[in-house]
Amino acid sequence: MIARFLKWSRHNLFGKPFDILLSLTVIPGFLWLAYQVAAWTVTTARWEIIPESLRILMIGIFPAEQAWRAWVAIMIIAALLGAALGCVFAFRKRHAAGLLLVLAAVIALTGSKDLTNALLTASTIAIFASGCAAISLIPLLRRALLPAGFIALIAIFAVMSPPGAGLWGGLLLSILLTLVTSIVSLPVGILLAFGRRSRFSSMRWICMGYIEVMRSVPLIMVVYWIWILMPVLAPQFGLADVVRGMIGFTLFYSAYVAEYVRSGLQAVPREQTEAARSLGMSEFDINRSIVLPQALRVAVPPLVGNVLDIFNTAPLVFIIGLTDFLRAGQMILANPQYGDRTYEVYAFLFLTYFLVGSLITFVARRLETHLARGNR
Amino acid sequence: MKLIKLLTAGVFAGLAVTTGQASASVLDTVKQRGTLNCGTDNTAPGFGYLNTTTGQMEGLDVDFCRAVAAAVLGDASKVKFVTVTDKSRFDAVLTNQVDVVFAHTTMKPARESSIAIDFLPVNFYDGTGIMVKTDSEVVQFADLEGATFCTTQGSVTETVLTSAFKANGWQGSKVLTYENLEKLFAALNSGRCNAMSTDKSALAAWAGNSPKPSDYLILPETLDKSPFAGFVAANDSKWRNALRWITYGLFQAEESDITQANLEEKLKSDDPFVQKFLGVGGGYGKDFGLPDDFVAQAIKAMGNYGEIYARNLGPDTSMFLDRKGTPNALWTEGGAIYSPLWN
């Protein structure tokens, strides 16, 4: 074992003079950093602020007595995310065992303090896993995923709306915003991409103008403009801030989706269309059954990357007064009593963003290999 | 961004003015709707803050929203708090998304002259202050010649300090900037700076929450005035007047010693002034389009100005802001909280 490690390190870490130099500087530096972080985590940091303000971080200013609504929404989201993961992840028996272990750990660690929330957290994880397992084991369900996503969104809105959409916040808001934007911008973006290749030049110009305008302005400006324009243009609707934020995000990211889809459309060889046309297929059928499936195969990996982009830009909604995950953390720190917990709160924010972000990149990478399989 | 902001403000100010004149006063809208849409911050402890442990909105600005709801609608709970930021607060009121904003906004001439808003009476006087350590034996600003001052990055305090140096002809004094108040406070404690400078309300909170508050001294001088006031969209006198006199009512109640606790008693008072002020047998409300007992309703729900202040900013809170000797005291005690005559 030791001999193998020595051999491995000689090959990989100390092979050439430059490697030796690099290893000698990077490894001790990294170890020192890891030691410092670990020492701070265990000794200096006062973590009790995180459980104390966990509700604010997760659901923001959503009223505590209505928290069950948030839980329902979280479970629907968990099922949806699990299903999305299931498309690219083969669920096996050993995963089920690992899952049971995680559930037991969650209940054992937090159950003594707050049993209800521990059980709810555990069931959310279980729902996530069963969504993943169901899609992974029954591939036929995948066709229903996009419609199911829309139905899930409507269900979430229905359950979350009664206390007032203005109260949505925290991590739940960030995730909802990401979900709504990524799901709604997909069909809009596909239409825009086709519009840009349309036979009608007016259509072509309108779509191109829209895409170019949206891609050349900053997101924060689009969001802010939508926020102030909607009540002036349509005062009778009285749309909530959060809905206007979602509209702004969707309008903006549709343009990006359109460009990703267009790159996919361009990757489909012309002969495919011509062959389909010579078979007498209608233009709609050609696009739906010949062009789009092949185009999406190229476009899906960057589209998943786009989801990550949306999630990471979600904090920009602070500009219209929404309390997303990052702002919820800042809100806790604004209290002078907690003013010296900056590092604890930001470490928690970092970790959560990192976990969600890595889940999305993991899905993206799996998708890429998964889709590339057909091209071999 | 600045140009865009100016353009937006201009366009929507124009729109707001044209539509505002055609439609009724916001006061009628609020009464018809039955709720008050009040714009507040939620990240400013003491002013507009969502208490992360209780999940309730609290603060001076928040209580003013509730007092307005109580006065106009007779129920302090009929408020919908809309979070506004430093960037969005003016557009929020210009586009009628909120009826009034109480968001620790500094009253400035350019804000009234170019943004089409009207300010309400000042409800808190803040300003740039200086805090030193007690053992440094500095008792006034003039003692700090040649000292190192610390403040936050990108704040106006930096400019305020440098112009104060220039005005005093100080050569050796310098300003160090830090990322946030926490680092600033640490720098004062480690002796890196001789003095820490930021808003007085923040200074008191940081000293008060430290292990030993008596280690710190906030100097009496205020380098730069910063009066906070609520505001409404311009050209709606009916709404603005109602709000102004609700605010004055809270001031006057303190002056006349009418509190939440003794309100019932005062309602039975024989004093004709108190009777009329509280709307017993005809008061001032009707002509404003308010209930006659609007002041009584506001006091019943939130207490007078002194009580609101004590609840959110006073020495018993984590803000540790004593009113004594500051402009936030009543005018009878040498402060600037003053209500015009009620009769």
- B3 in contact with A at a CB cutoff of 8 Å? no
Instruction: Look at residue B337 and give its three-state secondary structure.
Output: strand
B137 shares its domain with B192: yes
CA–CA distance, A171 with A78 (Å, rounded to integer) = 13
Q: Is residue B168 part of a domain?
A: yes
Give the pLDDT confidence score for residue A83 in this predicted structure.
86
- Interval B29-56 mean pLDDT: 87
Residue of B40, B97, B183, B312 best to disrupt the A interface, most CBs of A under 10 A: B97
Q: How many CB atoms lie within 10 A of CB B144?
A: 23
Cα A316 versus chain centre, distance: 15
Residues across chain A: 376
CA distance B226 to B199: 9
Could you count the other beta carbons within 10 Å of the beta carbon of residue B97? Answer: 25
DSSP symbol at B208: H
Query: Would the pLDDT of B22 be above 60?
Result: no
Helix (H) or strand (E) holding A225: helix A219-233
Share of chain B above pLDDT 70, in %: 93
Distance between CA atoms of B178 and B175, rounded to whole angstroms? 10
Residue B122, in any domain of the structure: no
- Domains in chain A (CATH in brackets) are 65-163 (no CATH), 167-376 (1.10.3720.10)
Same domain as B97, residue B191: no
**Which residue type does A343 have?**
Y
CATH of the domain at B148: 3.40.190.10
Tokens coding A254: 């549709």
**Structural domain total, chain B:** 2
d(CA A285, CA A276): 9
- Residue range B177-190, pLDDT digits in tens: 887 777 888 889 88
A334 → closest Cβ in B49, B208, B209: B49
Structural domain contains residue B324: no
At B329 the pLDDT is 94
Residue type, A14: F
Q: Which residues of A touch B181 (CB under 8 A)?
A: 339
The yes-or-no verdict on residue B132 having pLDDT over 70 is: yes
Contact A197, A265 (CB under 8 A): yes
Q: What would the DSSP string read from start to end of B148-198?
A: EEEEETT-HHHHHHHHHHHHHT-SS-EEEEESSHHHHHHHHHHTS-SEEEE
Do β-strands B148-152 and B174-178 pair in parallel, antiparallel, or remain unpaired?
Answer: parallel
For residue B30, pLDDT over 80 is answered with yes
pLDDT at B10: 54
Say whether B130 sits in a helix, a strand or coil. Answer: strand
- Residue B8 has a pLDDT of 54
Position B17, amino acid: V
Cβ–Cβ contact B29 with A under 8 A: no
Spatial CA neighbour of B174 closest among B207, B154, B200, B146 = B146
B224 close to B337: Cβ distance less than 8 angstroms: no
Q: Give the model's confidence band at B18: pLDDT under 50 very low, under 70 low, under 90 confident, else very high.
A: very low
Q: CB under 8 Å to A333, separation ≥6 — which residues?
A: A339, A341, A342, A345
- Please check whether residues B284 and B244 belong to one and the same domain: yes
Q: Are residues B164 and B212 in the same domain?
A: yes
| B159 and B93 within one domain | no
Nearest-angstrom CA–CA distance, B292 and B211: 49
3-state secondary structure B262-286: CHHHHHCCCCHHHHHHHCCCCCCHH
ipTM associated with this complex: 0.72
Burial of A198 (0-12, 13-18, 19+ CB in 10 A): middle
Backbone phi and psi for residue B38, each to the nearest 5 degrees, phi listed first: -115, 125
Is there a domain that residue B318 lies in?
A: no
Q: Is residue B171 part of a domain?
A: yes
Are residues B132 and B219 part of one domain? yes
- The answer to whether the Cβ–Cβ distance between B83 and A321 falls below 8 Å is yes
User: What was the pLDDT predicted at B70?
Assistant: 96
Model pLDDT for residues B275-294, shown as the tens digit of each residue: 999 998 888 998 899 999 99
Q: Rounded to an integer, what distance in angstroms lies between the CA atom of residue A333 and that of residue B45? A: 10
- CA distances to A189, A195, A198, A206, A291 from A201, in Å: 18, 9, 7, 9, 21
CA triple A219-A202-A289, angle to 5 deg: 80
User: Across the 376 residues of chain A, what is the mean pLDDT of every consecutive 10-residue run?
Assistant: 84 83 90 92 84 83 81 90 82 82 82 78 87 84 82 89 80 91 92 91 94 94 90 78 91 95 91 91 89 87 90 91 87 77 88 91 82 59
Residue B135 tokens read as: 């053992």
Angle at CA of residue A186, ends A279 and A272, nearest 5°: 20
Please, are residues B249 and B35 in contact by the beta-carbon 8 Å criterion? no
Determine the pLDDT at residue B150: 92
Give the distance from residue A163's alpha carbon to the nearest chain B alpha carbon, in angstroms. Answer: 11
CA distances from B20 to B84, B157, B229 (A): 21, 37, 22
Nearest to B8 among A228, A241, A318 (CB): A228
**Whether the Cβ atoms of residue A228 and residue A320 lie closer than 8 Å to each other:** no
Per-residue pLDDT tens over the stretch B209-225: 888 888 899 888 888 88
CB-based contact A339:B206 (threshold 8 Å): yes
Alpha-carbon distance values, B136 to A298, B95, B107, B131, B216 (Å): 68, 51, 35, 11, 10
Cβ-defined contact of A231 to B87 (cutoff 8 Å): no
Q: How far apart are CA B235 and CA B240, in angstroms?
A: 9
Q: What percent of chain B has pLDDT over 90?
A: 46
On whether any CB of chain B is under 8 Å from the CB of A227, the answer is yes
B64 and B202 both lie in a single domain: no
Does B333 fall in a domain? no
Rounded to a whole number, what is the distance in Å from the CA of B61 to chain A's nearest CA? Answer: 16
Q: Do A340 and B182 touch (CB under 8 A)?
A: yes
* One-letter amino acid for residue B116 of the chain: A
d(CA A180, CA A187): 12
Q: Please check whether residues B73 and B156 belong to one and the same domain.
A: no
State residue A162 phi and psi, 5-degree precision. -45, -45
Residues 6+ apart with CB under 8 A from A274: none
Is residue B173 domain-shared with residue B255, that is, in the same domain?
Answer: no
Q: Is B45 on the interface with A (CB under 8 A)?
A: yes
User: DSSP E strands: which ranges in A156-233?
Assistant: 169
**Given B199, B225, B251, which residue is the final one in a domain?**
B225
Which chain A residues are closer than 8 Å to B53 by Cβ? Answer: 52-53
Burial call B8-19: b when 16+ CB within 10 Å, e when fewer: bbeebbebbeee
> Going by C-beta distance under 8 Å and a sequence separation of 6 or more, which residues neighbour residue A347?
A41, A45
Return the pLDDT at B251: 95
- Closest to A207 in 3D by CA, of A199, A217, A197: A197
Pairing state between β B36-40 and B79-83? parallel
Interface test with A, best of B7, B83, B84, B95 (most A CBs within 10 A): B83
Distance between start and end Cα atoms, chain A: 38
Q: Range of B243's domain?
A: 2-106+236-302
